Amino acid sequence: MTPRLLPLPLALAATLAACNDDAQQGPPEALLDPKTCEECHPKHYRQWLGSMHAYAADDPIFLAMNARGQRETGGALGDFCIRCHAPVAVALGKTTDGLNLDELPQHLKGVTCYFCHNVESVEGTHNNPLVLAMDGIMRGELADAVANEVHESEYSPHLDDSTIASGQMCGSCHDIVNGHDVHLERTYKEWVDSFYDTPDPANPQLTIYFGNTCARCHMFGSAEPIADYEGVKSRSLRSHMMVGVDLALTDFPDAELGPQLVAEQTAESDRQRMPSVCAGLCVRPADGGGTDVVVWLHNEAQGHAWPSGATQDRRAWVELEAFDGDAAVVRTGVLADDEPVDAAAAQDPTLWVFRDYASNADGAPESMFWNITATEPNLLPIAAEAGLKYDKTTWRERSWHVDGPVDRARVQVNLRPIPHELVDELADEGLFDPAAIKARIRTNVAGSTQIEWTPDTAVMTDYEGPCVYSASCFCALANESGACE
């Protein structure tokens, strides 16, 4: 090839630029629409439709908070929120602030199939730095996908759960730094700082213990064909439900399907949550007389803190009761579904809450992202090294003192994804009925933390006296005597 010595004639340059523009018109419109995928990938479609990814730009709390933010900042918020909640619409220039979502077709909203499967590179660690190829190629973990007439296929490490690159893909959207440099949501940072993103040096293929990616934990596989298409054999179909702690608070996508999808997500999320946190409950004589009721908690099955992500909105708390005969001598965190956690915490200084305490420039509590200037987390952490997974520093302990004896106690850890106060705060945007929304906010129970102590069920431990532990704490206990692993 002859090196080009002279500048291109203007006309030719203009023609090339026009060609480039054409190329950037993007992929065939049909590929942007998840309904197109449904034809051959019906299971993926349904699982995704029930997920928070599909609902991300229809979430009434999101819409109200973005509207408030645009008004309060005089538009300076720009595409900050919408670049994660409707990234394809932003990439195509169809919205700059999310205030026109009503006018956009549904297939440009939410985190769509096309968005994840067209990621070409990851250019940062937070605030969605993902760059799309904007071609018609669907990237996945297969290098030998059976050809079809709708899309080309290609292997990409960003969509292969056995690579760190796949964690970067999910993670850089699950990590938010706001305009005041506050690291507001830190799921990715927590994972990077933990042992889960560290391959075993002796065996670089990620393994359960040394390395575990977002997709490994959040996308279980089942052996079956991944497309309804001729010539396709059984492979591993990865769940696209991607459950966490949130559920749709509306009948998204419609009144008939919405409740079914919420039921499916609820069941899957309860299953995923079952081993997530583990608890110990000990009842022992106190040094100066009376009894101490001690609760131990450990982040057992997450690759990040518990809770994680929107921790300024999460309210996780300990529900504990201890009895002397019929009399309740300790009673904290026993809340009815319509009782707000913050109000209860104001009344009960012993209420043990896990969340981020976010505040504004005046030092007052703050829940609007753009006003938050500082945040103080109180979360169940994840160890930095695999060998420290059950280390004492990763456990959290609190004790309640009783003057007399205790003959029975029970504990459980609950989590409400969104505080009732935030719903009320956003209600004057006029976008939803706060009572209807609050009625749909479910309180999750971290299943394995639900335990009961009696002298008969307790086992004697070296440090804490007679204790009862969640079944999933087996390894933690065994570790103290060096028996595990």
Q: Which two tokens stand for residue 128?
A: 């969605």
Q: How far apart are CA 324 and CA 214, in angstroms?
A: 45
Work out whether 41 is an interface residue with ligand HEC (CB under 6 A): yes
Nearer to ligand HEC, 151 or 438 (CB): 151
Q: How far apart are CA 273 and CA 10, in angstroms?
A: 62
Instruction: List all residues 6 or more positions away from 288 whose beta carbon is below 8 Å from its beta carbon.
Output: none
Q: How far apart are CA 372 and CA 364, in angstroms?
A: 10
One residue of 209, 220, 229, 395 binding ligand HEC per CB under 6 A: 229
Nearer to ligand HEC, 313 or 319 (CB): 313
Q: How many CA atoms within 13 Å lie on the side-chain side of 300? A: 25
Work out whether 371 is an interface residue with ligand HEC (CB under 6 A): no
Q: How far apart are CA 427 and CA 433, in angstroms?
A: 7
Q: How far apart are CA 316 and CA 308, in angstroms?
A: 11
Work out whether 307 is an interface residue with ligand HEC (CB under 6 A): yes
Q: How far is the CB of 150 from ligand HEC (least distance, A)?
A: 4
In this structure, how many other beta carbons lie within 10 angstroms of the beta carbon of residue 182? 18
Instruction: List all residues 6 or more positions away from 1 whose beta carbon is below 8 Å from its beta carbon.
Output: none
Number of residues that bind ligand HEC (CB under 6 A): 98
One residue of 90, 132, 182, 227 binding ligand HEC per CB under 6 A: 227
* Options 184-192, 324-332, 359-367, 403-411: segment touching ligand HEC (CB under 6 A): 184-192
464 to 483: interface string for ligand HEC, x by CB under 6 A: --------------------
Q: How far is the CB of 459 from ligand HEC (least distance, A)?
A: 26
Work out whether 441 is an interface residue with ligand HEC (CB under 6 A): no
One residue of 120, 135, 154, 429 binding ligand HEC per CB under 6 A: 154
Nearer to ligand HEC, 400 or 417 (CB): 417
* Tokens 């059950």 belong to residue: 390
Q: Which two tokens stand for residue 431?
A: 């976008």
Q: How far is the CB of 12 from ligand HEC (least distance, A)?
A: 36
Q: Is 75 left (phi over 0), alpha (psi -120 to 50) or beta?
A: left
* 396 closest CA partner among 317, 466, 335: 317
Work out whether 160 is an interface residue with ligand HEC (CB under 6 A): yes
Instruction: List all residues 6 or more positions away from 139 whose beta carbon is below 8 Å from its beta carbon.
Output: 117, 118, 119, 133, 153, 154, 155, 156, 158, 159
Work out whether 354 is an interface residue with ligand HEC (CB under 6 A): no
Q: How far is the CB of 380 from ligand HEC (least distance, A)?
A: 10
Q: How far is the CB of 81 from ligand HEC (least distance, A)?
A: 3
Cis before 307 (ω within 30): yes
What letters, b where the CB count within 10 A reaches 16 and e where it falls short, cover 12-31? eeeeeeeeeeeeeebbeeeb
Binding to ligand HEC in span 69-88, by CB under 6 A: 69, 80-81, 84-85, 87
What letters, b where the CB count within 10 A reaches 16 and e where it falls short, cover 466-476? bbbbbebbeeb
Q: How far is the CB of 52 from ligand HEC (least distance, A)?
A: 4
Q: How far is the CB of 47 from ligand HEC (least distance, A)?
A: 8
* Options 2-10, 207-215, 359-367, 427-435: segment touching ligand HEC (CB under 6 A): 207-215
One residue of 26, 36, 359, 402 binding ligand HEC per CB under 6 A: 36
One residue of 273, 315, 355, 416 binding ligand HEC per CB under 6 A: 273
Q: How far is the CB of 478 from ligand HEC (least distance, A)?
A: 19
